[in-house]
Amino acid sequence: MTLPDIRPIRTTRPARTVAALMVGALAWVGAYWANERVWDWAFEALGVDLATPAGGAVHFFLYDTAKVLLLLVGMIFLIGMVRTTIRPESVRAYLLGKPLPVALGLAALFGAITPFCSCSSIPLFIGFVAAGVPLAVTLTFLIASPLVNEVAVVMLGESFGWGITTAYVAAGLSLAMGLGAIFSRMDLDDQVADFVRSTPTARLLQETGRRHTLADRVAAARQETAEIVHRVWKWVIVGVAVGAGIHGWVPAEVLATYAGPDNPLAVPVVTAAAVPLYSNAAGVIPIAEALWAKGMATGTVLAFMMATVALSLPEFVLLKQVLKPRLLALYFGSVAAGIITIGFVFNVLF
Instruction: Tell which residue, 177, 189, 184, has the closest CA to residue 129.
Output: 189
Whether the pLDDT of residue 5 is over 50: the answer is: no
1 confidence band (pLDDT: 50, 70, 90): very low
At 330 the pLDDT is: 93
DSSP label of 47: T
Contact 102, 299 (CB under 8 A): no
pLDDT tens per residue across span 172-181: 999 999 999 9
4 confidence band (pLDDT: 50, 70, 90): very low
At 343 the pLDDT is: 92
Distance, CA of 235 to CA of 267 (rounded, Å)? 30
Name the phi and psi angles at 248, rounded to 5.
85, -10
pLDDT tens per residue across span 122-134: 777 877 777 677 8
More confident residue, 112 or 87: 112
Whether the pLDDT of residue 10 is over 60: the answer is: no
DSSP label of 191: G
Q: What is residue 343's three-state secondary structure?
A: helix
At 296 the pLDDT is: 80
One-letter identity of residue 155: M
At 109 the pLDDT is: 85
DSSP label of 294: T
Distance, CA of 174 to CA of 111 (rounded, Å)? 12
Q: Domain ranges in the chain?
A: 49-349
Average pLDDT estimate for 250-276: 73
At 8 the pLDDT is: 45
Mean pLDDT for all residues in the chain: 78
In this structure, how many other beta carbons lie within 10 angstroms of the beta carbon of residue 144?
30
Q: With pLDDT > 70 as the criterion, what percentage of the chain qualifies?
A: 74
At 279 the pLDDT is: 66
CA 91 and chain centroid, separation: 21
More confident residue, 57 or 333: 333
Distance, CA of 77 to CA of 222 (rounded, Å)? 6
7 confidence band (pLDDT: 50, 70, 90): very low
pLDDT tens per residue across span 157-207: 877 888 888 998 999 999 999 999 999 999 888 888 877 766 665 565 555
Q: What is residue 192's three-state secondary structure?
A: strand
**Torsion of Cα atoms, 202 then 207 then 210 then 214, to 10°:** -20
